A and B are shown apart, each in its own frame.
Chain A
């Protein structure tokens, strides 16, 4: 068996253009500290890595299991708050990071299993509504348990010394260590998810997605598999949250739990391509780049149509979500497999 097939679990991108695009993104991310040395561009690269993991874990639910959850940011937040609270209480050490990340993950898995067992046995729509309610409850909890979470303001904390600028290796400092920590963990998690969806379990999930009744008739315990998928997605999302906490050195409701983040993830997965996992890489890169770089471009466009009524308001830099929302609807309608699906159809 070739190394590549082993790494990608036999699920290659299956399109030349797509392979080239993915290779370019991964290569740029791998060399980001050297190619784009600025602090801001490094933060963009870190954010892309983190959201690739988050979006890919969401795709396991949305694309492979066929359920729409609105609670994914909650699991993301559990990991972030876990690390944030542990670092605040125990001081900046690797032990605290580990305790926080594992604690957050354990909580995420437990909550995911409970939600799954309670609401996945009924119709898909019900699951979506319940997850929306639970996610809003989590947001309320995070803002009202002020002593632990810092309320609306969130928590600002110090990270382990090796991740700070004070730590030097030759010409480089802790920022580099932090970047590669995030990059390596993100890459490993992505390959793990690729392994999951291409395992026998992944096939079962797709079978349930296509025809639940038939899958059940074949003797598959659909509830058990769906709940397991939910637990895996929640666990991976919590690790992504832990990485975000290390990157920002801050956790707060808006950065981790808000509905805006949930919308971002949804857009990433759908625009990139549901049920492809590689779509998460494209989607995250596009969305994060859009957040950082589309706004100036729209500002210029808005200035260009300044005399026309309404148009300047539509091209206002803060209205970028309007255009991505329209793109989202068009993709759901006409290209359900997103960019990845289009590229694969080209061959």
Chain B
């Protein structure tokens, strides 16, 4: 089969085309901002595409796990206010890492329960899946308000991560670099697990042909639960990263990202992890570039991007065979 190079060229092409349209300094700032936003979006989208790819379940309540991660970050950071206020990389990183670890554990655990109680009964029934997971989102948002209150809760970045550094004459926010690093690290880890381990092999095989994996004697159910837990834990991590970036947590913080996450999945190709990385970066960059060049159309720019990609590749950039 001939290798299809065109989808791989989209992201570099977008970055290169943007360069002459704005000065080099602006371009650098916006590109880093766009890639960092893309990295955070990737963290939020990766779990959803993983779950969809293997189980054919589109979890409309995915945003609730992002929100859960954000609230866990609030609860973890509140007693550690001394650590995040200290001028120490070590203590600051510890707060961030602790928030991420706890959020991943809590989201994963809730995701496990969600799979058992809500999703398990509706495998293979797309209509009821959409409805049930949507119902899950409604209930979850109300529960967040009941547990954490209806008011937005401020969440300050650890001290050393706020502010920016000079890079080639451009001021780059430090937190964006951290988010970018985290996003790329998670992608690398996912990629390694999927391509180099036995479990990853089974997951990939399950995405390609679920019945065959079952027929070979592997317990696909266990794989399902594992992927669901990992997917929701990733959403929790994404929620933490996004919450520290926004510095304000509401019950809608994750639900508001649902549409953007869907756009990323559609652009990248439903079920493709690599596709969701490229899709997230494209969305992040487009939002930043268009916001600078033509602020009036910036709000709708992601939907225009999606329409353009769909007109060119109706199944997204990196379609997964089913």
Using a CB–CB cutoff of 8 Å, the interface residues on chain A facing chain B are 62, 66-68, 118, 122-126, 128-130, 132-134, 136-137, 140-141, 144, 263, 266, 270, 310, 313-314, 316, 318-319, 321-322, 324-326, 328-329, 332-333, 336
Instruction: Determine the chain A residues whose CB is within 8 A of the CB of B130 once the complex forms.
Output: 68, 125, 128
Any A CB within 8 A of the CB of B299: yes
Contact B138 A319, beta carbon cutoff 8 Å: no
Residues of B contacting A336 with CB < 8 Å?
128
Question: Which 5 A-B pairs have CB atoms at the shortest separation, nearest pair first?
Answer: A322-B142, A325-B138, A329-B135, A325-B139, A313-B146
Interface string of B104-148 (1 = CB under 8 A from A): 000000000000001001100011101110111011001101110
Minimum CB–CB distance from B257 to chain A (whole Å) comes to: 11
Partner of A319, one of B142, B314, B315: B142
> B14-22, B155-163, B240-248, B260-268: which lies at the A interface?
B260-268
From B126, B132, B315, A125 is in contact (CB under 8 Å) with B126
- Given that A68-B130, A319-B145 are contacting pairs, would A140 and B138 also be in contact in the complex, using a CB cutoff of 8 Å? no
Residues of B near A140 (CB, < 8 A) are 299-300
Interface of B is mostly: helix
- CB atoms of B265 and A129 under 8 A apart: yes
Contact B142 A325 (CB under 8 A): yes
B314 — which chain A residues lie within 8 A by C-beta?
122
**Interface pairs (20), CB distance under 8 Å:** A68-B131, A118-B310, A125-B58, A126-B270, A129-B265, A132-B259, A136-B259, A141-B300, A144-B296, A144-B299, A263-B134, A263-B138, A270-B131, A316-B146, A319-B146, A322-B142, A325-B135, A326-B135, A329-B132, A332-B135
Instruction: Specify which chain B residues have a CB less than 8 angstroms from the CB of A125 in the assembled complex.
Output: 58, 126, 130, 270
The reply to whether B127 and A66 contact each other, CB–CB distance below 8 Å, is: yes
A134→B138 contact, CB < 8 A:
no
B135 to chain A, nearest CB (A): 4
> Could you tell me the distance between the alpha carbons of A122 and B310 in the complex, rounded to whole angstroms?
12
Q: Does B150 contact A (CB under 8 A)?
A: yes
Return the chain B residue nearest A262 by Cβ.
B134
The interface residues of chain B lying within 8 Å CB-to-CB of A328 are 131, 135, 138
Within 8 Å by CB of A68, from B127, B270, B315, lies B127
List B contacts of A144 (CB < 8 A).
Answer: 296, 299
B306 in the interface, Cβ–Cβ < 8 Å? yes
Q: How far is the CB of B122 from chain A (nearest CB, A)?
A: 8
Q: Is the CB of B143 within 8 A of A129?
A: no
In the docked arrangement, what's the CA distance between A67 and B127, Å?
Answer: 7
Chain B hits for A316, CB < 8 A: 146
Q: Which residues of chain B come closer than 8 Å to A266, judged between CB atoms?
A: 131, 134
Residue of A nearest to B117 (CB): A329
What's the nearest-Cβ distance from chain A to residue B303, in Å?
A: 5
Contact B132 A333 (CB under 8 A): yes
Q: Which residues of A contact B122 (CB under 8 A)?
A: 333
Shortest CB–CB separation between residue B313 and chain A, in angstroms?
A: 12
User: CB-CB < 8 A to A270: which residues of B?
Assistant: 131
What's the Cα separation between A313 and B145 when bound, in Å? 8
Interface centre among A128, A132, A140 (most CB of B within 10 A): A128
Q: How far is the CA of A318 from the CA of B127 in the complex (A)?
A: 29
Are B139 and A322 touching (Cβ within 8 A)? yes
Closest residue of chain A to B302 (Cβ to Cβ) is A133
The answer to whether A133 and B146 have CB atoms under 8 Å apart is no
- Minimum Cβ distance to chain A for residue B321 (Å): 14
Known contacts A125-B58, A314-B146, A322-B142; is A133 also within 8 Å of B303 by CB? yes
Given contacts A129-B266, A333-B132, 14 further A-B contacts (CB under 8 A): A122-B314, A123-B126, A125-B58, A129-B262, A132-B262, A137-B303, A266-B134, A313-B146, A319-B146, A326-B135, A328-B131, A328-B135, A329-B139, A332-B135
Task: Give chain A residues whose Cβ lies under 8 Å from the Cβ of B150.
Answer: 318
Chain A, Cβ-Cβ closest to B131: A332
Minimum distance in angstroms from B115 CB to a CB of chain A: 14
Of all chain A residues, the one with the shortest Cβ separation from B121 is: A333
